[in-house]
């Protein structure tokens, strides 16, 4: 094989990083795979646009079929984003016998099973390391490094935008809206940040992690999702007083053969390694029966970190091509999917209530908690400026999600309770 020829779909932030790494690391890439690698065609919307990266004009095209139908191209790298168009282009490329590398988490969360099946049918590789946690090699670590172990839990910060926002809110006491605006100005948040702040981006990544880590077909609709938009400075202040740090946590947990997958604001003990992950950084904590606890930490986004993961996948494909073992990367799920019922999900909870400041109120609340199997671990009661009102902050012992949800509803219905101000899951024990 004289050279391996690559077609690139997209020349934005990540695509430009991919071109830079392939260009700058050409000697190392050729040494690893035994022949040169060359980007021969790049799909862009406007071939005449001025760009930050130096590109020979003849490499650019606005016609995707010049790449995915070309007999001159061996590997297609998709970094254009979107779902439906990307799906069709990748399907066509695979059916034409081209290997594919993608950074598209939305696509893989929704259509990963289908695309991997088509890749296998056509003896093609399809790799997607960059779709989760940017430059952190978490997928390869799960598939290869921990392949001999049985993973029981994956818990992590997999969205840099929300971690940046929560870090600023916690450390500087700023309001959510102010920090969001700052994140947008710095380029950490999109003009429309819904996917990030409502937890959808993290949910797509947890779908991919759970599918690989538990070798079962987890779908996006299986993930319970809650975003960060309702978090207040008061929530964070009470969290700190109790020894916790607030993070948007993606959790995938297996007990026996039953799974739970969720994304929600979660209180972590300050001593937990994930509590120390600041700003736009990502980290994933993996628990294995044999290896115990491991943590993967690094930049979760950005041009070169994400491009590094893309090019690492490219190297893996090229090595497989040289060895003649392509098309074996997709392993069918080993286990049937069995999701936990809410009555099987156990957790501790943080709860803020505004109540009437009168005799008998606390007894009524205590009675409700007892009725629904949620006992108190810690309680703080504070007066409010509003006359005749008080605030109660409660940390529960472990309770089932089913009982806790009914308890919240019953508290809302109580005359003595003015409102439930906040409720969050807790992972771990604060000291």
Q: Which of 182, 283, 226, 197 is nearest to 275 (CA)?
A: 283
pLDDT computed for residue 403 by the predictor: 96
pLDDT tier, 134 (very low <50, low <70, confident <90, very high otherwise): confident
Q: 410-428 pLDDT, tens per residue?
A: 999 999 999 999 999 999 7
Is residue 190 pLDDT above 90, yes or no?
Answer: no
Catalytic residue among 205, 226, 247, 348: 205
Confidence of residue 429 (pLDDT cuts 50, 70, 90): low
Evaluate whether residue 337 is within a structural domain: no
Dump pLDDT digits (tens) for 194-214: 999 999 999 999 999 999 999
Are both 260 and 308 inside the same structural domain?
no
- The reply to whether 330 falls in a domain is no
> Both 262 and 317 in a single domain?
no
Residue 284 lies in a domain: yes
CATH number at residue 12: 3.40.50.720
Residue 41 annotated to the active site: no
Are 221 and 316 found together in one domain? no
- Residue 34's pLDDT band, with cuts at 50, 70 and 90, is confident
pLDDT at residue number 431? 43
One domain, residues 24 and 101: yes
> Long-range contacts made by residues 222-225, C-beta under 8 angstroms, separation at least 24?
222/259, 222/261, 222/337, 222/339, 223/261, 223/262, 223/263, 224/260, 224/261, 224/262, 224/263, 224/264, 225/198, 225/199, 225/200, 225/262, 225/263, 225/264
**Average of pLDDT values for 338-347?**
97
- How does pLDDT run across 7-20, given as a tens digit for each residue? 999 999 899 999 99
Question: How many domains does one find in the chain?
Answer: 3
Distances (CA, A) of 164 to 137, 138, 181, 232, 233: 21, 21, 12, 15, 15
Domain assignment present for 431: no
Whether 221 has a pLDDT exceeding 60, the answer reads yes
213 and 361 in a single domain? The answer is no
Q: Are residues 291 and 149 in the same domain?
A: yes
Read off the CATH number of the domain in which 164 is found: 3.30.360.10
CATH number of residue 406's parent domain: 3.30.70.260
Residue 84: is its pLDDT beyond 50? yes
Q: What is the rounded distance in angstroms from the CA atom of residue 127 to the CA atom of residue 144?
A: 13
Residues 356 and 408 in one domain: yes
Range of the domain at 415: 342-426
Least confidently predicted of 27-31, 48-52, 104-108, 352-356: 48-52
Asked which of 299, 333, 365 is the last residue of a domain, the reply is 299
For residue 234, CA distances in Å to 75, 335, 424 come to 51, 43, 13
Are 123 and 147 found together in one domain?
no
User: Can you give the pLDDT at residue 1?
Assistant: 65
Express each pLDDT in 117-126 by its tens digit.
Answer: 999 999 999 9
Is residue 351 located within the same domain as residue 384? yes
Query: What are 413's two structure tokens?
Result: 């219905």
Q: Exposure string (b/e) for 159-193, b if CB count within 10 Å is 16 or more? A: bbbbbbbbbbbbeeebebeebbebbeeeebbeeeb
**Assigned domain for 196 exists:** yes
8 A C-beta contact, residue 79 and residue 18 = yes
- Asked whether residue 289 is domain-assigned, the answer is yes
242 to 365, 395, 409: CA distances (angstroms) = 21, 9, 25
Q: How confident is the model at residue 188, as a pLDDT?
A: 79
Average pLDDT of 37-64? Answer: 92
Q: Of 134, 117, 58, 182, which Cα lies nearest the Cα of 302?
A: 134
Whether 71 and 112 map to the same domain: the answer is yes
Q: Note the pLDDT of residue 332.
A: 74
Q: Is residue 332 part of a domain?
A: no
Residue 333 placed within a domain:
no
Which of 22-36, 136-150, 319-333, 392-406 is the most confident on average? 392-406
The rounded mean pLDDT for the chain is 92
Indicate if 37 and 168 belong to the same structural domain: no
Whether 31 and 89 map to the same domain: the answer is yes
């Amino acid at each position: 094989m004289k050279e391996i020829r690559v077609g690139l779909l997209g020349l934005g932030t990540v695509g430009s990083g991919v071109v830079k790494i392939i260009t700058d690391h050409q000697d190392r890439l050729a040494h690893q795979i035994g022949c040169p690698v060359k980007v021969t065609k790049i799909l862009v919307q406007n071939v005449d646009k001025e760009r930050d990266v130096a590109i020979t004009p003849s490499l650019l095209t606005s016609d995707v079929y010049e790449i995915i139908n070309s007999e001159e191209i061996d590997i297609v790298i998709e970094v254009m984003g979107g779902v439906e168009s990307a799906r069709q282009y990748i399907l066509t490329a695979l059916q034409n016998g081209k290997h594919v590398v993608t950074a598209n988490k939305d696509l893989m969360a929704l259509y990963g099973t289908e695309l991997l099946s088509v890749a296998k049918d056509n003896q093609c590789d399809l790799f997607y390391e960059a779709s989760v946690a940017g430059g952190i090699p978490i997928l390869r670590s799960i598939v290869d490094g921990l392949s001999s172990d049985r993973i029981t839990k994956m818990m992590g910060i997999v969205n840099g935008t929300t971690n940046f926002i929560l870090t600023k809110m916690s450390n500087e006491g700023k309001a959510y809206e102010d920090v969001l605006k700052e994140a947008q100005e710095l380029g950490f948040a999109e003009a429309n940040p819904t996917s990030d702040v409502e937890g959808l981006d993290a949910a797509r990544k947890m779908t991919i992690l759970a599918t690989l880590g538990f070798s079962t077909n987890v779908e996006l609709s299986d993930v319970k999702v809650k975003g960060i938009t309702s978090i207040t400075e008061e929530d964070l202040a009470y969290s700190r007083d109790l020894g916790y740090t607030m993070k948007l946590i993606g959790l995938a947990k297996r007990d026996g053969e039953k799974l739970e997958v969720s994304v929600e604001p979660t209180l972590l003990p300050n001593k937990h390694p994930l509590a120390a992950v600041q700003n736009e950084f990502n980290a994933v904590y993996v628990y294995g029966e044999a290896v115990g606890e491991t943590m993967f930490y690094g930049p979760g986004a950005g041009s070169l970190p994400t491009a590094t993961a893309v090019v690492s996948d490219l190297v893996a494909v090229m090595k497989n091509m040289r060895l003649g073992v392509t098309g074996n990367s997709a392993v069918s799920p080993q286990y049937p999917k069995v999701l936990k019922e809410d009555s099987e999900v156990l957790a501790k909870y943080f709860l803020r209530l505004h109540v009437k400041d009168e005799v008998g109120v606390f007894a009524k609340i205590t009675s409700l908690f007892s009725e629904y199997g949620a006992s108190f671990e810690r309680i703080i009661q504070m007066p409010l400026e509003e006359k005749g009102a008080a605030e109660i902050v409660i940390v529960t012992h472990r309770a089932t999600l089913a009982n806790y949800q009914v308890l919240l509803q019953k508290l809302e219905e109580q005359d003595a309770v003015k409102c439930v101000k906040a409720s969050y899951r807790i992972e771990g024990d604060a000291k």
